Chain A
């Protein structure tokens, strides 16, 4: 017959250690927790995340924090436009005045090559590195990387940048909504 004493000892001591360490971890999670507002995270998820700073805050997360504390208007996000403003208002359960926010749809910056003087100001301004160019050389926009925040549009000294509507293509077109049913 085997002597089961050492087995009970080791099982018992491991179980006791597990319980003690588990309790410590549980206590640490409770007392040392970093406070995070789940609403902030959700709001930040709705923002473009390009940290363009046009809302007046340092970045999207700071704007989301201010929104969660009700210290900022939902209409401040320039690249997001009406679409993001509506989503934020819905999430926060507020009614926003969107009358001066015409639905412009997504836009992209386009550089008029004849007017560009190669000053690099737009390149430095772009927060997603979507504009390529060199001093005194023509610049151009990588359309896929642009999200239409229009910061470059504001700094261009020769008005060579236009914010153009993203065209509907065969790949992005889809059926419109059917007309509502007649009610008799």
Chain B
């Protein structure tokens, strides 16, 4: 298959070899699980259980609220200990509402949804409903509810389901292992998703530094004529859906548009496997494969872990820490989020847990910009970090927005290449957050204005009604007085 060049990008040291040969091992069920209500993009889930309830494995604990949301299920059987505020696996370290599940050790399955025997004869709407009810979100780390993405076919004319097995982040090997060990499940899930979307073709994009995964997936896909497994160049951020789409189709996704506008929908390989489980067996998303590695870890592993397991227990299962880590990261080192501590739960979007040493992190103080232009050369979005950062330093967000800061995908390539160690992507995240906050304020102000206008209108109407009533009463008394 012909591939197309993608602009910019970097070639970091991949450091995947420590875990790439570690087969996925299942971790024993921990005693207590912590299930945050917000593990996805969109509205938080709403609990349907109360403290003290006994639940079975796979039972619904919290349902999705609104269009963009996802439910949460019990990863094991047990008792709901509390619904309380627990530190979120988020760089802010803020607490969020979390269901605490005390496992009873029996790990008994509850009643599951009936398997869909022949998904390719089923209505696409039924598949989407099953994916939505199973709490499946994008497992690459973005955690966007997958059912919403499966609905894109209703508004767009779709050609290709692009399965993202690029895994361009250094250290991470969980998708690699999933493709090698569960290739059949991934391909089946992908075919089900393509049926729900109505796409005639499936393309699996895998970075060519994973030859075994390429081989396993090619073998699993060989029985089906409409699936192409493609080795894409090793170039960070190839796993970004816009860039993978460009490498495969040659089309660049326009700013503020979706790949669906080009007829392409991108899903992660692990998401496809979760769809397979949900449709074929009725099993909701209650566990995922996580890569645990980093220089500060005694041992690196790929672990199938129940959602809600404390990161500290996961680290202990992998042999504990060799030295005090400089930083704990959830996800990959380029785009992952630093964790406030080890006492946070694994959530649906946790693709990796990295315990990094000081040598693996870059804490060098930022120096002055020498205007070398490296960041412009490597920016995969065609932006100009060297121009945007000074505006943001002066809090001139409008000027930065004019240069396209909202189109930045936060891949971090600019920070990686900057010889002065300027935290460029940090500036852009700060600008994007501030612009979004300003936008929220503007909407709130408009809302208040509308409410105030409605309030005044209501008062005027009431006053008018009073005046009319008084006039009518006066007229009545006058007419009574004149009639003898």
Contacts and interface: CB of A to CB of B under 8 A. Distances in A.
Interface stretch (B86-94, B163-171, B259-267): B86-94
Contacts of B369: 181
Interface stretch (B46-54, B179-187, B275-283, B433-441): B433-441
Interface stretch (B13-21, B116-124, B422-430, B468-476): B422-430
A181 B436 contact: no
B434 A181 contact: no
A172 B439 CA distance: 11
Interface stretch (B59-67, B125-133, B442-450): B442-450
B90 A170 contact: yes
A175 interface: yes
Interface stretch (B68-76, B188-196, B241-249, B452-460): B452-460
Contact of A49 (B91, B433, B436, B448): B448
B134 interface: no
A163 B94 CA distance: 22
Point out which of B90, B436, B455 has the most chain A C-beta atoms below 10 A from its C-beta: B455
Given A145-B447, A145-B451, A169-B94, A183 B432 contact: no
Interface in B357-412: 365-369, 393, 395
B420 interface: yes
A176 B437 CA distance: 12
Nearest to A179: B366
Interface residues of B, number: 38
A129 B94 contact: no
B445 A173 contact: no
B448 A128 contact: yes
B38 interface: yes
B96 interface: yes
Given A50-B452, A127-B452, A174 B368 contact: no
Given A49-B449, A127-B452, A170-B96, A184 B430 contact: no
B368 A181 contact: yes
Contact of B430 (A48, A176, A180): A176
Given A48-B448, A145-B447, A174 B38 contact: no
Contacts of B429: 174-175
B437 A129 contact: no
B366 A182 contact: yes
Nearest to A182: B365
Contact of B367 (A48, A128, A169, A184): A184
Contacts of A144: 447
A16 B427 CA distance: 61
B423 A50 contact: no
B95 to A, nearest CB: 9
B5 to A, nearest CB: 32
Of A126, A168, A172, chain B has the most CB atoms within 10 Å of the CB of: A172
A179 B369 CA distance: 14
Interface string A145-184: 1010000000000000000000011101111111111111
Given A48-B449, A181-B366, A182-B367, 18 more contacts: A48-B445, A48-B448, A49-B448, A50-B448, A126-B455, A128-B452, A129-B455, A145-B447, A170-B90, A172-B440, A174-B430, A174-B436, A175-B429, A175-B433, A177-B427, A181-B365, A181-B420, A182-B366
22 contacts: A48-B449, A128-B455, A168-B92, A168-B94, A170-B38, A172-B440, A173-B90, A173-B94, A175-B430, A175-B433, A177-B395, A177-B427, A177-B430, A178-B366, A178-B423, A180-B393, A181-B365, A181-B422, A182-B366, A182-B368, A184-B367, A184-B368
Q: Which 7 pairs between the two chains have the least Cβ-Cβ distance?
A: A174-B433, A49-B449, A128-B451, A181-B366, A175-B429, A173-B92, A50-B452
